[in-house]
């Protein structure tokens, strides 16, 4: 079954393949705090509604995140995702080291807060990320 678009905007897209139990999300450009919260909330809603267990989250185009967005992600976003059936999230991070480290720190903080109830791994390519999700 092909991917079915569940949400799309000028900054974010979420697609689901129910047969493969796979959700793909893709940030299309750098975003504001409000856009980050909107996209993250939509991801939660789609996961909740589809009961998906695997996510391929592509953040290669995300760029610099404002401190407020990082705070929301580490405290609220990962907590929301933990309320779903999510088991594995593979994140494809930007090539830029500064941007990559900033996104890695979000998960580190969420883990320290104890809000992450699923496996999260970071990758540099979608192919590697998908391979891990399929393992």
- Listing DSSP states for 46-81 in one string gives HHHHHT--EEEEE-TT--PPPHHHHHHIIIIIHHHH
Residue 8 has pLDDT above 70, yes or no: yes
Burial of 98 (0-12, 13-18, 19+ CB in 10 A): exposed
Per-residue pLDDT tens digits for 21-68? 999 999 999 999 999 999 999 999 999 999 999 999 999 999 888 899
Measure Cα distances from 116 to 14, 16, 23, 86 in Å. 21, 22, 18, 10
Rounded CA gap, 90 and 92, in Å? 7
**Mean pLDDT within 116-134:** 96
Residue 1 has pLDDT above 80, yes or no: no
Split at pLDDT 50, 70, 90, the class of 100 is confident
Backbone angles phi, psi at 122, to 5 degrees: -105, 140
Per-residue pLDDT tens digits for 62-98? 988 889 999 999 999 999 999 999 999 999 999 888 8
User: Would you state the pLDDT for residue 30?
Assistant: 94
Q: Kindly report the pTM of this predicted structure.
A: 0.93
Is the CB of residue 48 less than 8 Å from the CB of residue 127? no
User: Would you state the pLDDT for residue 102?
Assistant: 87
Measure Cα distances from 12 to 6, 26, 31, 114 in Å. 11, 6, 9, 27
């Amino acid at each position: 079954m092909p991917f079915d678009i569940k949400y799309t905007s000028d900054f974010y897209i979420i697609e689901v393949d129910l047969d493969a139990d796979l959700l793909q999300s893709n940030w299309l450009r750098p975003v504001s705090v409000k856009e980050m919260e909107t996209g993250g909330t939509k991801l939660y809603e789609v996961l909740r509604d589809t009961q998906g267990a695997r996510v391929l989250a592509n953040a290669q185009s995300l760029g610099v995140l404002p401190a407020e967005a990082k705070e929301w992600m580490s405290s609220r976003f990962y907590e929301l995702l933990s309320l779903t059936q999510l088991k594995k999230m593979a994140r494809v991070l930007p090539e830029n080291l500064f941007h990559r480290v900033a996104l890695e720190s979000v998960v580190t903080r969420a883990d320290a807060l104890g809000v992450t109830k699923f496996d999260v791994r970071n990758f540099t390519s979608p192919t590697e990320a998908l391979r891990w999700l399929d393992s």
